[in-house]
Amino acid sequence: MLPTIMITEGGPHSAEAWAGVTAQQIIQVGETASGIPGAQARKLELRVIEILEAAHAHVQEHEQAALSEHGADRYDHPLDSGVHIDDPLAEIVAASQGTAYEAHFAKAEVQAYIRQVLGEHFATSMKIERDWHADRAVAA
Amino acid sequence: MATTAMAVSFKVELLSGAHCFMATQSGVSCAGTTGQFALTSLASTANLAVGMAVTGTGVAAGAVIASVDSSSQVTLSKAHTATVSSATFTGDVFKMLLIKASPTRTFDGTQTNVGTPGSGSPSATNVGTDETSGAGYTSGGVTLANVNPSNPSGATAITTFSANPSWTTASFSATAAVIYNSSGRLGGTTGRAVSVHDFGGTQTVASGTFTVVLPTADATNAILRIA
């Protein structure tokens, strides 16, 4: 599988861009998915993207606020992406309820996997905010 | 050009115990006495391996784990310089560098070392001038954060890295990435190639952010897998 390359001109990746990439690693709808399960899968995928866009935006805003408060000291703080995971995870699980995929998203191992993906992507987003902050400080 | 592949030399080195992908454990509570080599009272040594670098107040510079003695004790390679109450254990340092557009050689599983990135003729032992360059890119690439290897399902073992590699205020083009070990675990040789990852075409960023999003960390897709 090829790595996914994200490219954004002029600044960090948008929450919308992140949402699409993160969703791809959480839910994949086959091209031939059909009938009620197929429709539910596509609706669920869109709902997951909505949830993730809001979550990524929150992560970015939180990191920007922390950078405003702490300045360059923030670069040495741990990338504690874990604090941002519980709410979007709960929303994703809730979105799956009443669909053909409720049992899948209720599994502990599936939720652990989602935690890992969210943690990695949120941490990356936080680091990118810090790097841009540092870059702009040098340029100023 | 590039072909996604695990370096053949890496496979041999792995069987020789020459790569440690263990995740960093920071601020681990332990006990060490000045002049002694042992660290005792560890809660667990499950994810510690011989050769991992050890740092902390009272730990001698350059110390590594010489032996894992029990579930609560390790012995270091150098005597403590002062009382030790906590320590950080670090596996090998892996990095990802990028290959430029239209490289002169094909990067694949025959790559054994990254050599001197940015300098010299490209070969199986040197990425050389086939490394990408441009604003926001530092030769040698970026450091990856280890994640403990695991067996997510079936008979496949995997490892991945946390926090996907990214470059900011970046202006460059790249066609592939090479993951390599910058630590000198085997014979002191650094830069040993781990794997090559083709991007499927030239990827160009201009004054922006370039991120390599590592694939799903499962038995089918993880960036590094052994079946």
- Which of A19-33, A37-51, B126-140 has maximum average pLDDT? B126-140
Q: What is the mean pLDDT of each run of 10 residues along chain B (227 residues)?
A: 92 90 94 97 94 96 95 97 96 96 95 96 97 97 92 87 92 97 83 95 96 89 88
Is A63:A125 a contact under the CB 8 Å cutoff?
A: yes
Residues of A whose CB is below 8 A from B162: 119-120, 123
Mean pLDDT computed over A51-61: 98
Minimal CA separation from A12 to chain B, in Å: 6
Residues of B whose CB is below 8 A from A17: none
Say what the pLDDT of residue A138 is. 81
Q: What is the DSSP letter of A114?
A: H
Which residue, B190, B193, B194, B196, is CA-closest to B212? Answer: B196
Minimal CA separation from A116 to chain B, in Å: 9
Best mutation target among A124, A135, A136 (most B Cβ atoms within 10 Å) is A124
Q: Residues of B near A (CB-CB distance < 8 A)?
A: 4, 136, 162-164, 166, 168-169, 177, 197-200, 203-218, 220-221, 223
Best mutation target among B203, B213, B216, B223 (most A Cβ atoms within 10 Å) is B213
Say what the pLDDT of residue A1 is. 59
pLDDT in tens, B64-76: 999 999 999 999 9
pLDDT in tens, A72-82: 999 999 899 99
**B213/A3 Cβ within 8 A:** yes
| DSSP one-letter string for B76-143 | ESS--SS-EEEEEEE---EEEEEEPSS-SS-BSTT--B--STTSS--BTTB-GGGB--SBT--TT-EE
Instruction: Assign A34 a pLDDT band (cuts: 50, 70, 90).
Output: confident
**B217/A116 Cβ within 8 A:** yes
Minimal CA separation from B206 to chain A, in Å: 6
**B162/A123 Cβ within 8 A:** yes
Residues of B whose CB is below 8 A from A131: 166, 168-169
Best mutation target among B211, B218, B220 (most A Cβ atoms within 10 Å) is B211
Residue bearing the bigger pLDDT, A20 or A37: A20
Is B62:B183 a contact under the CB 8 Å cutoff?
A: no
**A9/B205 Cβ within 8 A:** yes
Say what the pLDDT of residue A30 is. 81
Q: Give the three-state DSSP class for B65.
A: strand
Say what the pLDDT of residue A101 is. 92
Which range has the worst mean pLDDT, A18-27, A32-41, A97-106, A124-133?
A32-41
Tally the C-alpha atoms within 13 A of residue B194's C-alpha that lie toward its C-beta: 26
Say what the pLDDT of residue B46 is. 92
**A4/B209 Cβ within 8 A:** no
CA dist., res. A116 & res. A129, Å (int):
20
Minimal CA separation from B141 to chain A, in Å: 15
pLDDT in tens, A93-133: 999 999 999 999 999 999 999 999 999 999 999 999 999 99
Neighbouring C-beta atoms of residue B188, cutoff 10 Å? 7
A16, containing H or E segment:
helix A15-24
Residues of B whose CB is below 8 A from A127: 163, 166
Q: Is the pLDDT of residue A29 over 70?
A: yes
Enumerate the β-bridge partners of residue B154: none
**B197/A2 Cβ within 8 A:** yes
Instruction: Assign A3 a pLDDT band (cuts: 50, 70, 90).
Output: confident
- What is the value of pTM for the model shown? 0.91
CA dist., res. A43 & res. A49, Å (int):
10
